[in-house]
């Protein structure tokens, strides 16, 4: 049976790409069972080795162990996020305790830790290069940070916490996705669609048709929810949609409130067991910021500088809304509508005006072309490589010398089996095994508007920047160099990983770049220069508000993960208090971000959401070098590739940044870029 399982054999495809045509949901469970069994044997062999422990037979051997388990896990969990099914979810629930048990089998293995510690204690006598030194450091710390030094009851307790935590995080994500999918609004009276652009109505009509309904169907997925909130003139319907989105998993069958309490308390308990005061202390030790005092100071400093601008912007939109007939207070379901109306009047700019110039095909070609212009690489369709869904396209990335860099899977459109948002991930990272280099398989996942029977997929300008953002992550993965997968690509400090992605967004505001590809999908007409001027002129529109919004997420994240005593209170009240310093819009009872905040409760950004603003500070400073030397300067791009993109986590992030920029980042660069200066 195992021989027939495509997850347990070589695919025979170019580069060893996964054969998604053959892989079925039912293949994963037996593959996990086999892979975990193999990985345990490999770990036990290292731990019981009779030879004196050294870097090769212990540390490097550990890095290379579990290759089959890594393969199966990377495929399963990434597909689960992008194209899940009831069978996949059942498998996730069954396999999560198994993976936790295996993790503990490694981290709690006293003989194995003893060998690693012996090598680590002798590290000064070893002639390791920087990559070897970092692998040894990370390996030793991973044991220390995962309970290897615990004894007796504490060791047992740690294992129980890890198992409970893994299941709680899994359940949280399942609830958030189910809660989002559970709501839709079916409109059959066309008069209730006032204000909505044709492209929004067309998409909603096709969504209704696909579900066997008449009229127009709106959902909480981004391509439906976002435009509805910006353009629907019917205030009651806007409120209904906003309340539905902001009460995802607040109550009912998919209630996440108790799970939030459970997760933060388990994280605190784990941190204290490991002699950290809080979960934030535990996490930040490994980041550029190093400690919670630095992060809280960073956030509070930005809040203090940002709120005067954010409040002014709110007042501006509220006054504008009252001038348009709004009675009473400007509410959260009003703000997107009136701010979009204001933007249209002030800058004569809106999505309906711009979207025809940003067909998905032209944006894709332009993003790929930008990578070629900066770095000399080529990206072409990959022949004979199947994808995991009919909507997914596969490309081959090659370097300027023609050598293979990576496979790139592009997953563009929303579906009920996919979680919301946009992200980059890898089915396989970069490594060297037996002298043979393995290049990465990278996946970019989006939720763009699907093409309709009348139009191709047309992107809003914010979706163009999202495309560039995620592609920056892809370059970080594709340019990776190194022997060890755990140190290559995006395996860097959490508050450094967003630098390459956020840097790429800047080119969306370069006129020469926009003019090179923005063409009307029907006429082929070049985007008018006045539109480009308006895009650039409106770049910092509501920048104070949007920064305050991001800071509120960071404040909430840190509040949850800086608790030093178990939390038994009201989740919604705790959240409301945490975000108050950065609140711009009025608070609405019974709503919550925390119950649908996948980034921090199910997505690896716990005590790390601040990193978006931290990295944005880095990228604002980094892009200033491109501005000095020319935004398409190949030498500057080559330096960024050599010093940042190719290095992964081989060296300290601060060292890498200084090597590229020649100095530490200038903290005022972000405020200046956003125009938040007097």
Among all residues, which ones are annotated catalytic? 470
Per-residue DSSP letter, 187: E
CB 282 within 8 A of CB 561: no
CB 59 within 8 A of CB 136: yes
Q: How far apart are CA 582 and CA 373, in angstroms?
A: 40
CB atoms under 10 Å from CB of 593, counted, come to 16
Q: How far apart are CA 293 and CA 285, in angstroms?
A: 12
CB atoms under 10 Å from CB of 56, counted, come to 11
CB atoms under 10 Å from CB of 185, counted, come to 18
Q: How far apart are CA 604 and CA 24, in angstroms?
A: 27
Burial 11-20, CB ≥16 within 10 A → b, else e:
bebebebbbb
Closest CA to 397 of 17, 18, 22: 17
Q: How far apart are CA 130 and CA 318, in angstroms?
A: 56
Q: How far apart are CA 378 and CA 595, in angstroms?
A: 42
Q: How far apart are CA 265 and CA 268, in angstroms?
A: 5
CA angle, corner 174, sides to 169 and 179, nearest 5? 125
Backbone phi, psi, residue 629, to 5°: -100, -10
Helix/strand number for the chain, H first, E second: 27, 9
Q: What's the residue count for the chain?
A: 678
Q: Which residues contact 386 (CB under 8 A, 6 or more apart)?
A: 13, 19, 20, 21, 394
- Burial classification of residue 496, based on how many CB atoms lie within 10 Å of its CB (0-12 exposed, 13-18 middle, 19 or more buried): buried
Cα→Cα distances 514→253, 456, 468, 487, Å = 46, 19, 13, 35
CB 469 within 8 A of CB 505: yes
Alpha-carbon Rg for the chain in angstroms: 25
CB 423 within 8 A of CB 470: yes
Q: Determine the distance from the C-alpha atom of residue 455 to the mean position of all C-alpha atoms in its chain, rounded to a whole number.
A: 29
Q: How far apart are CA 90 and CA 532, in angstroms?
A: 49
CB atoms under 10 Å from CB of 276, counted, come to 17
Secondary-structure percent of the chain, ordered helix, strand, coil, rounded to 5: 60, 5, 35
Q: How far apart are CA 365 and CA 344, in angstroms?
A: 28
Residue with tokens 């069954």: 94
Closest CA to 625 of 663, 656, 677: 663
Q: How far apart are CA 410 and CA 461, in angstroms?
A: 19
Tokens of 42: 């490999």
Q: Determine the distance from the C-alpha atom of residue 185 to the mean position of all C-alpha atoms in its chain, rounded to a whole number.
A: 28
Q: How far apart are CA 518 and CA 496, in angstroms?
A: 31
Backbone phi, psi, residue 443, to 5°: -125, 130
Work out whether strand 441-445 and strand 404-411 pair parallel, antiparallel, or are unpaired. parallel
Q: If DSSP codes are grouped into helix, strand and coil, which group holds residue 2?
A: helix
């Amino acid at each position: 049976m195992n021989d027939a399982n495509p997850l347990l054999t070589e695919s025979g495809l170019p580069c060893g790409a996964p054969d998604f045509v053959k892989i079925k949901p039912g293949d994963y469970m037996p593959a996990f069972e086999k892979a975990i069994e193999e990985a345990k044997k490999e770990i036990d062999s290292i731990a019981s080795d009779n030879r004196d422990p050294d870097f090769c037979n212990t540390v490097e051997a550990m890095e290379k162990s579990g290759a089959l388990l890594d393969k199966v896990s990377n495929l399963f969990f990434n597909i689960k996020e992008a194209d899940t099914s009831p069978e996949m979810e059942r498998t996730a629930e069954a396999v999560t305790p198994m993976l936790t048990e295996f993790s503990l089998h490694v981290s709690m293995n006293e003989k194995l830790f003893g060998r690693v510690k012996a090598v680590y204690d002798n590290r000064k006598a070893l002639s390791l290069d920087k990559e070897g030194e970092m692998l040894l450091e990370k390996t030793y710390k991973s044991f220390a940070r995962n309970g290897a030094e615990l004894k007796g009851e504490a060791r047992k307790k740690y294992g129980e916490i890890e198992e409970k935590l893994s299941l709680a995080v899994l359940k949280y994500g399942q609830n958030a996705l189910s809660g989002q999918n559970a709501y839709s609004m079916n409109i059959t009276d066309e008069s209730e669609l006032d204000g909505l652009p044709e492209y929004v109505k067309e998409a909603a009509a096709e969504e209704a048709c696909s579900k066997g309904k008449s009229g127009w169907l709106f959902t909480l997925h981004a391509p439906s929810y976002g435009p509805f909130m910006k353009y629907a003139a019917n205030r009651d319907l806007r409120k209904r949609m906003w309340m539905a989105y902001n009460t995802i998993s607040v109550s009912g069958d998919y209630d996440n409130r108790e799970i939030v309490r459970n997760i933060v308390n388990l994280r605190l308990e784990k941190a204290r067991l490991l002699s950290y005061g809080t979960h934030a202390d535990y996490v930040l030790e490994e980041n550029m910021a190093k400690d919670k005092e630095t992060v809280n100071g960073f956030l509070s400093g930005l809040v203090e500088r940002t709120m005067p601008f954010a409040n002014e912007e709110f007042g501006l939109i509220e006054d504008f809304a009252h001038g348009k007939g709004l009675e009473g207070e400007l509410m959260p379901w009003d703000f997107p509508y009136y701010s979009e109306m204001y933007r249209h009047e002030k800058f004569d700019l809106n999505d309906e005006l711009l979207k025809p110039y940003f067909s998905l095909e032209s944006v894709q070609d332009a993003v790929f072309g930008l990578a070629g212009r900066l770095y000399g690489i080529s990206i072409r369709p990959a022949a004979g490589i199947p994808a995991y869904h009919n909507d997914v396209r596969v490309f081959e990335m090659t370097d300027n010398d023609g050598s293979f860099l990576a496979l790139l899977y592009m997953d563009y459109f929303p579906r009920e089996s996919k979680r919301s948002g946009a992200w980059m991930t890898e089915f396989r990272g970069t490594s060297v095994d037996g002298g043979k280099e393995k290049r990465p398989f990278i996946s970019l996942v989006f939720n763009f508007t699907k093409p309709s029977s009348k139009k191709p997929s047309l992107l809003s300008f914010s979706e163009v920047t999202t495309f560039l953002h995620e592609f920056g992550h892809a370059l970080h993965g594709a340019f990776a160099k190194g022997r060890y997968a755990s140190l290559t690509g995006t395996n860097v400090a959490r508050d450094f990983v967003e630098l390459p992605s956020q840097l790429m967004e800047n080119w969306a505001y370069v006129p020469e770049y926009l003019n090179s590809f923005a063409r009307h999908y029907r006429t082929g007409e070049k985007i008018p220069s006045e539109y480009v001027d308006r895009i650039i002129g409106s770049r910092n529109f509501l920048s104070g508000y949007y920064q305050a919004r991001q800071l509120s997420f960071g404040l909430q994240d840190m509040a949850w993960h800086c608790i030093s005593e178990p939390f038994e209170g009201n989740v919604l009240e705790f959240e409301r208090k945490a975000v108050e310093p950065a609140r711009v819009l009025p608070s609405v009872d019974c709503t919550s971000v925390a119950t649908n905040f996948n980034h921090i409760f199910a997505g690896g950004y716990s005590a790390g959401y601040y990193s978006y603003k931290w990295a944005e500070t880095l990228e604002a400073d980094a892009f200033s070098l491109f501005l000095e030397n020319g935004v398409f300067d190949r030498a500057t791009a080559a330096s960024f590739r050599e010093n940042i993109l190719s290095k992964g986590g081989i060296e300290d992030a601060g060292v890498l940044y200084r090597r590229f920029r020649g100095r530490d980042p200038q903290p005022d660069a972000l405020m200046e870029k956003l125009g938040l200066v007097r």
